[in-house]
Structure 1
């Protein structure tokens, strides 16, 4: 098991929710930023931007039960997209957070759209960063990520798919993390992403449930609600070179949402990994603008 989290994320904490125990880190004071990561990563995705934001904001970075977490949730927890959205909403309620700027990246962006569409009460702003739009599949088709859902149909196929991640050189393949991060991610962080799903049956159970339940229809439904009802202001931050979530999809979605769209150069999907200075600057603008 690798439950290492970068100390720059702040104090480790845990909260009991209806779905189970969720670990999170907290650092800083001020207006609240809550960060939602995607599949097979964890709070470490934000380890480079939290130190750049904590002087002005209270940064809350949960480990969502998406395959790289350290504490399994209840066996019967709903880990479908609506279930994960409820889990995030429950986290905000349990921590008594208000006027939250919710920042989502990769499929964390998809889950964040569901939170804003269906549980907007504690959300002040929504920041979508390089993730699913209504034009994208979920899992996304570029890079062959659709295989993730197909192999989730059975525990053996799901476990077999990830065995290649025991080999560090595979981490740079386009159909693992190579099209998500333009530059190599350090080994400690990568091990925190891949070892739980490789080594722990209970974590694999959660991860398989989560990825097996995703579908583009959830994002499309949330997008219809967000564009028609505008429950919260939306800003968008996109990797100019995104290989997985095309920039032109984001541009059309931004027009539908009436949202300002900023791009980050020299980055793939994980903008906080590839360009943390630019990402932190734009998140600050989104949270204060």
Structure 2
């Protein structure tokens, strides 16, 4: 499969991890910033966020995590939320990254919370940008996907239906996560792996049946012990994760601050990449390692 990712993400690489091979892009030099996307998107989600951060003197690393829009199947990997959290930890170790700034969006935020509860040793600071948390993992209407994924053939039927551009604005597609239209070629790049590969669909199905709120609720129990800086960035018009959830995160995380972004839904990297980049840079500079 050809690489549909933006050249702005930098050179493409692959790394062997326990359970499979992960593809990632990298650009820039300096302190590492690692990005964690959510369900049915890939590293291309960050194509407009990475350039200003890399230009400001950071090493930006954008992996394709196995969440349904990845190009390399990982049949031997544990694709439960704790399993993917451990995969991220293994990725950081394999690249020997320390004092990492993790930037997470949507489902990737839930997995990042699980990672912080299990092994935050290589993480220096975290940005949670409109993310699943607490009881909202996965949020309605996407919570139905875990049930539907158990029915043989449903995942394939859904990915085939999403070939129809007119359906992209539906609530179970992109209608509740993006306020402004995403270029059709970008959407096609998100959806192509699951449409063309039965192995990718099996990976996606394994994650969907395992994604349950018990994982985020369990991770939240570790929040009082997390002293690293956390920036909570939220869409003021958020459709999936009401703003009180962001306020709850900030109240329970000892070193967290909240910033709201207007004119956006969940996919802040799509709707407001410039504002998100600026907030990430402000945060990393304020909490830079001594």
Q: TM-score, normalised by structure 1?
A: 0.95
Superposition pairs of residues 61-72 of structure 1, within 5 angstroms: 61-72=62-73
Superposition pairs of residues 155-166 of structure 1, within 5 angstroms: 155-166=152-163
Q: Is 172-181 or 98-107 further displaced after alignment?
A: 172-181
Distance (whole Å) between structure 1 residues aligned to residue 244 and residue 151 of structure 2: 35
Secondary structure of residue in 2 paired with 1:189: helix
Matched, 1:183 2:185: no
Secondary structure of residue in 1 paired with 2:168: helix
Counterparts in 2 of 1:165 and 1:188: CA distance versus 1, 3 Å: same
Superposition pairs of residues 1-289 of structure 1, within 5 angstroms: 1=1, 3-55=3-55, 56-73=57-74, 75-136=75-136, 138-141=137-140, 144-226=141-223, 228-258=224-254, 259-289=256-286
Over aligned residues, Cα RMSD in angstroms?
Answer: 1.2
| Runs of at least 5 residues in structure 1 that lack an aligned partner in the other structure | none
Distance (whole Å) between structure 2 residues aligned to residue 2 and residue 13 of structure 1: 14
Give the C-alpha shift of residue 229 in structure 1. Answer: 1.0
Counterparts in 2 of 1:2 and 1:198: CA distance versus 1, 3 Å: farther
Distance (whole Å) between structure 1 residues aligned to residue 114 and residue 229 of structure 2: 14
Q: TM-score, normalised by structure 2?
A: 0.95
| Runs of at least 5 residues in structure 2 that lack an aligned partner in the other structure | none
Give the C-alpha shift of residue 232 in structure 1. Answer: 2.5
Number of residue pairs matched by the alignment? 284
Give the C-alpha shift of residue 231 in structure 1. Answer: 4.8
Secondary structure of residue in 2 paired with 1:114: helix
